[in-house]
A and B are shown apart, each in its own frame.
Chain A
Amino acid sequence: MTLLLDLIALLKGDTQADRIVPRTGQTARLTAAVSGAMAFLAVFALALSLAAGRLADRWAEALAQSATIRLSAPEAEIEAQTQAILTILAQTPGIATARALSDDEQRALLEPWFGPDLPLADLPVPRLIEIKETAEGFDALGLRQRLAAETPGAVLDDHTRWRRPLIDAADRLRLLGWVSLILILGSTAAMITLAAQAALALNQQVLRVLRLVGARDSYIARAFVRRFTHRALTGAGVGAALGTLAIALLPRAADEGAFLSGLGFQGASWLWPLTIPPLAAATAFWATRIAALRRLRGLR
């Protein structure tokens, strides 16, 4: 009930009651500055977490349901073995399409490493066969055994070996982002609690006078809670706005910097930073309320 009254009072405001708490400069500035700084960092942690999430999803989607066969064979046999592999693939359940990459496509794949004038014909470059799976997927073990028996130079690569660590890394990055957010929230609570305790200690005389004239604990606590909640809300609002602006102004790189350029928000996720100031205010509300009631219990 008291908590509900506190929340109502917080929203409604009470000009007269607010005046009983002196405007102590240092704790006010500290609360607003800490909330602002933490909100700024929280925006980045949020952006990191969301970007890592998107990256993990993209890698999972892009690499799932595709596989490659590398064929190394003598020049004279390569066409025949390619055809044999395509025949095997056509008979394998779970494979939607399969095709051998043309020389131009293979050259384009190698171009970033060897340049545009690569003499593909003079090099022992394996032939690549691209596979698209159906939704059900294929039996990779069975296909490997058949390829080994019929075309020994063919190696099936279903991307699992290197796709899984990348997705795991992106998932871990997303988790770290959320852990950072929790740590930021915890640090904010700790700093605001310290600031509130400092303000309460500085205002011991105010507390004594108020108790002497018949003020209830909830009334006194409410006045401090309102003050600190407003400071935290204001500070976090500015910090979150600056953080969001900084994210928006990050330079957009091309595909080469895909990860860095992806650090940010997309679509509706731009609304996420809006949750930070109310979260900071709620943290300040609880931290100050607990600190104030604990301090008041020491007074009769």
Chain B
Amino acid sequence: MIEMQDAAYGYGATPILSDMTLRLAPGSFHFLTGPSGAGKTTLLKLCYAELLATAGTITLFGQDANGLDRDAIARTRQRIGVVHQDCEFLDHLPVSENIALPLVVAGRDSADQDSNLKELIAWVGLSGRAHARPPELSGGERQRAALARAIIMDPDVILADEPTGNVDWDMSLRLLNLLCELNRMGKTIVIATHDLALIRAAKAQVQARVLRIADGRLTAAGTNL
């Protein structure tokens, strides 16, 4: 699904990530940990081709990421849901339209969207906030809206970058439960976080693999913290 073979990334002569070899299998659950600035966000960006490897190979759904043209990258992103810590929205549109945005840009029939959209909004607990504008949402509501937007296209992979960074513990658990549920549905989940408590909570629910980045390298990978 997503594979890295000796992948590296750097700005000019400064390496940020080196020798990254990784395989995200279908239905797997991964935590990406490491200190701030270790390169977790960079690794996630390599996974959805926002950044391109400066060395080695990254394969997205069987295609070399460096060989994808801009349209192919757009198509690939329709198969990858991304949730950022400071998730961005189209602030002039209501939450429901923001969540439906991937369907709109993919040209999906709006009649089919309505019932799925309502179900999804209810599933993330935003039924009462569907007509609110994103700036009116709390941090937790924004994260859930971003998660709903990330999964509305039924993607194969969900990448979450510090999804619980701006929310309290209860909301963190709620988001984690949603992601675990998605994993049980067969989605591949990658969560970048430095919140060890969150990882422990997840391991009670799913078989999660923990990847640790330090000094620009994956220094440990396994099921133990």
Contacts and interface: CB of A to CB of B under 8 A. Distances in A.
A206 B77 contact: no
Interface in A184-224: 205-206, 208-219
Q: Which of B52, B73, B101: most chain A Cβ within 10 A?
A: B101
Interface string B71-109: 101111110001000001111110001000110111000
A300 interface: yes
Interface stretch (A13-21, A227-235, A272-280): A13-21
Contacts of A300: 49-52, 73
B170 to A, nearest CB: 28
B110 interface: yes
A214 B77 contact: yes
A17 B97 CA distance: 11
A214 B75 contact: yes
Contact of A16 (B78, B104, B153): B104
Nearest to B98: A209
17 contacts: A20-B101, A20-B105, A205-B90, A206-B90, A213-B101, A213-B105, A214-B77, A214-B78, A214-B102, A214-B106, A214-B153, A215-B74, A216-B70, A216-B105, A217-B71, A296-B70, A300-B50
Nearest to A215: B105
Contact of A211 (B52, B74, B97, B106): B74
Give me the 8 closest cross-chain CB pairs, A-B, nearest first. A215-B105, A214-B78, A214-B77, A22-B92, A213-B102, A216-B74, A300-B50, A214-B74
> For the side of the interface on A, what is the size category?
20 to 34
Contacts of A296: 70
A209 B51 contact: no
Interface of A: 16-17, 19-20, 22-23, 205-206, 208-219, 296, 300
B30 interface: no
Contacts of B40: none
A175 to B, nearest CB: 44
B149 interface: yes
Nearest to B45: A300
A181 B203 CA distance: 71
